[in-house]
């Protein structure tokens, strides 16, 4: 996922595919899904010649932005999203915040046609800005561990080499599906925990339920990232590695927002926050290292009888190079935990606010889970259209990320302006994906629109809309590498919860805030009442 403040845009997830030295299966995969219209060179040259120069793109300077955001300024009381929206009204569907103080210009685009143009011309090594503190840590502080900066840090050929190595392991549904039994059991454990912590009279979950959700997401990530089942629910021993890791990830999210997403002096001198960030990254890296070393011993002491098909993602990564497993695990922790937790919360919230939709989903689930405790399997999960539609619709109306970013891969013409190759662009899809002109009902949660083989007006309409209006996991070779895993985790989580509980929300509407990704801004006071049978 991605976000910007100051000049920065940050990503948090993404992916691509390739195998065995040839390049990008993923590019081909996507090309197959979304056909690409050919653009003639001469036609482009003609457009370019007629277009207005880049300098004419409207927008405020960075200095004006800073001045207007200071106390008393006209933007002082607005959050980042509101500022961007205000500028959009003022300047239209393309505007530029000029750089300065060593930062580049940032171009904001809001039209799906422009998203498509940018993605289709991004090239085989798409450039997405990275978290600079993490880059510093991996390249300068621990270069011995990070022989590659991994997906979280690298660009260009180095990024492609790493992606090519891990893509066939992380993106193949058949490998990810092997985790269904473990994730299923882990959710069962979480359900026991929910019954224990809810108020026994009114069935309300405690105010800090978001922390419980983060722990669930971390535990589910660990099943895959490190082949480890953490004892993570309940009171943790303050000296335990699990406690340290949980605390470190929480701080990471905060420190990322102050050091990478806002202007900070850490590059001039090591601020206290920066020093803490380095310690936090040590905890995350050392935790991964510890588990890789343990696993290496286990693997060395066993005769290898497992076929490649049976090996876990973690085992496959270790066999390539134990350090590859460490790098990938740290990327999974920093990019996969808060995103998955936030997405799962949004689905629960949307279902709680729409009990009729929740009941349709429960009826679908009853067919494959006759008992509340019935397990999910590869077979019974193969046909759950309403579940998948509900998750997709939730990502549309309450997105985890507001958009994506790229440096343009070649000279382009957007909205009649010349955009030179290498310009930093923010593709702001948060408006297009809820635009009433494109999606009937706008922000209304209507999973039915995503049901395939339906002749309803809603689903016919959704099929006609450009897929570029709504790409929650990004696009192309750099799309989210954790997509398959995130979807599986959320599917299992939502299925088991809805089969076990009536999920209710009787509080004022929950607000979300943007801290790199969108997270709930308030207490998660869901009520969870047991389904009778």
Residue found by looking up tokens 């989580």 in the block: 493
Tell which positions 476-515 bind ligand HEM, by CB under 6 A: 478-482, 485-486
Q: How far is the CB of 482 from ligand HEM (least distance, A)?
A: 2
Q: Does 343 bind ligand HEM (CB under 6 A)?
A: yes
Q: Is 4 in the site for ligand HEM (CB under 6 A)?
A: no
Contact between 54 and 418 (Cβ < 8 Å): yes
**What contacts 379, CB < 8 A, 6 or more positions away?**
none
- Which residue, judged by CB position, is nearest to ligand HEM in the bound state? 13
d(CA 288, CA 331): 10
The least distance separating ligand HEM from the CB of residue 404, rounded to whole angstroms, comes to 5
Which two structure tokens, joined as six digits, stand for 262?
């806002």
Given 4, 5, 7, 15, the residue binding ligand HEM (CB under 6 A): 15
Tell me how far CA of residue 250 lies from CA of 268, 424, 505, 527, in angstroms.
Answer: 25, 29, 26, 25
Residue with tokens 């629109």: 449
User: In which residue are the tokens 């895959």 written?
Assistant: 224
Q: Please tell me what DSSP assigns to residue 376.
A: P
Binding mask 424-463 for ligand HEM (x = CB under 6 A): ----------------------------------------
Residue 480 annotated as lining a ligand binding site: yes
The residue within the footprint of ligand HEM, chosen from 10, 14, 348, 512 (CB under 6 A), is: 14
x/- map, 161-180, ligand HEM, by CB under 6 A: --x-----------------
Residue 80 touches ligand HEM, criterion: CB under 6 A = no
Q: Considering only residues 137-166, where is the footprint of ligand HEM by CB under 6 A? A: 151-152, 163
Cβ distance to ligand HEM smaller for residue 253 or 369: 253
Residue matched to tokens 């590019």? 27
d(C-alpha 513, C-alpha 521), whole Å: 6
Whichever of 210 and 504 has its CB closer to ligand HEM, that residue is 210
Q: How far apart are CA 14 and CA 528, in angstroms?
A: 33
Candidate list 9, 13, 520, 526; residue touching ligand HEM; CB under 6 A: 13
Total chain residues near ligand HEM (CB under 6 A)? 33
Q: Which CB, 187 or 369, lies closer to ligand HEM?
A: 187
CB atoms near residue 161 (< 10 Å): 12
Closest contact distance (angstroms) between CB of 460 and ligand HEM is 27
Among the listed ranges 105-113, 240-248, 288-296, 474-482, the one in contact with ligand HEM (CB under 6 A) is 474-482
Residue 60 vs 403, nearer CB to ligand HEM: 403
Dihedral sign from CA coordinates of 217, 218, 219, 221:
positive
Could you tell me the CA-to-CA distances from 77 to 13, 70, 73, 82, 308 in Å, in that order? 30, 9, 8, 9, 56
Out of 117, 339, 354, 500, name the contact with ligand HEM by CB under 6 A. Answer: 339
Looking only at residues 379 through 418 of this chain, which bind ligand HEM when binding is defined by CB under 6 A? Answer: 400-401, 404
Q: Report helix, strand or coil for 135.
A: helix
Tell me which of 30, 475, 505, 526 binds ligand HEM, using CB under 6 A: 475
Task: Give the phi and the psi of residue 85 in degrees, each rounded to 5.
Answer: -65, -40
519 scored as a contact of ligand HEM (CB under 6 A): no
Q: What is the C-alpha end-to-end distance of the chain, expressed in Å?
A: 39
Site membership for ligand HEM, residue 222 (CB under 6 A): no
Q: Are 347 and 336 in contact (CB under 8 A)?
A: no
* Minimum distance, C-beta of residue 166 to ligand HEM, in the bound complex (Å): 9
Using left for φ > 0, alpha for ψ between -120 and 50, and beta otherwise, residue 72 falls in left
Instruction: Give the residues lining the site for ligand HEM (CB under 6 A).
Output: 1-2, 11-16, 128, 151-152, 163, 331-332, 335-336, 339-340, 343, 400-401, 404, 472-475, 478-482, 485-486
């Amino acid at each position: 996922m991605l976000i910007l403040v100051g000049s920065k845009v940050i990503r948090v997830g993404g992916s691509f595919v390739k195998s065995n030295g040839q390049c990008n299966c993923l590019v081909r995969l996507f090309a197959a899904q979304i056909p690409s219209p050919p653009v003639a060179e001469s036609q482009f040259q003609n457009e370019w010649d007629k277009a207005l120069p880049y300098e004419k793109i409207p927008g405020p300077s960075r200095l004006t932005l800073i001045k207007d955001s200071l106390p008393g300024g006209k933007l002082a009381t607005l959050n980042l999203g509101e500022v961007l929206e205000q500028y959009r009204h003022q300047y239209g569907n393309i505007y530029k915040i000029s750089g300065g103080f060593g930062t580049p210009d940032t171009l904001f685009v809001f039209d799906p046609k422009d998203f498509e143009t940018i993605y289709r011309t991004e090239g085989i090594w798409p450039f997405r800005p990275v978290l600079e503190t993490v880059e510093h840590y991996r390249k300068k502080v621990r270069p011995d561990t990070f022989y590659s900066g991994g997906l979280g840090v690298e660009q260009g050929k180095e990024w492609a080499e790493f992606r090519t190595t891990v893509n066939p392991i992380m993106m193949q549904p058949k490998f990810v599906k092997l985790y269904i039994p473990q994730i299923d059991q882990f959710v069962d454990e979480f359900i026991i925990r929910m019954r224990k912590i809810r108020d026994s009279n009114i069935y309300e979950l405690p105010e800090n339920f978001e922390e419980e959700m983060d722990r669930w997401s971390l535990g589910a990530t660990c099943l895959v990232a490190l082949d480890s089942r953490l004892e993570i629910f309940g009171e943790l021993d303050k000296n335990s590695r699990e406690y340290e890791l949980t605390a470190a990830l929480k701080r990471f999210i905060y420190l990322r927002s102050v050091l990478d997403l806002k202007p900070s002096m850490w590059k001039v001198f090591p601020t206290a926050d920066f020093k803490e960030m380095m310690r936090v990254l040590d905890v995350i890296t050392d935790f991964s290292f510890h588990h890789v070393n343990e696993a290496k011993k286990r693997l060395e002491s066993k005769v290898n009888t497992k076929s490649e098909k049976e090996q876990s993602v973690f085992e496959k990564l270790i066999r390539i190079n134990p350090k590859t497993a460490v790098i990938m695990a740290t990327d999974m922790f920093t990019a996969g935990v808060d995103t998955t937790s936030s997405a799962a919360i949004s689905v629960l919230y949307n279902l709680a606010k729409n009990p009729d939709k929740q009941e349709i989903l429960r009826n679908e689930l009853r067919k494959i889970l006759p008992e509340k405790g019935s397990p999910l399997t590869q077979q019974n999960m193969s046909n759950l259209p309403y579940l998948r539609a509900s998750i997709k619709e939730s990502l549309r109306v309450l997105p985890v990320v507001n958009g994506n970013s790229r440096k343009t891969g070649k000279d382009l013409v957007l909205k009649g302006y010349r955009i030179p190759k290498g310009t930093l662009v923010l593709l702001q899809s948060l408006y297009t994906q809820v635009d009433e002109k494109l999606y009937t009902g706008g922000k209304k949660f209507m999973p039915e629109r995503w049901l395939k083989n339906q002749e309803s007006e809603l689903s016919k309409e959704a099929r006609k809309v450009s897929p570029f209006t709504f790409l929650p996991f990004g696009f192309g070779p750099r799309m989210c590498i954790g997509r398959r895993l995130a979807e599986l985790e959320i599917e299992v989580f939502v299925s088991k919860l809805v089969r076990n509980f009536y999920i209710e929300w009787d509080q004022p509407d929950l607000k979300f805030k943007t801290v790199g990704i969108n997270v709930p801004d308030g207490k998660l006071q869901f009520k969870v009442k047991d389904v009778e049978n």
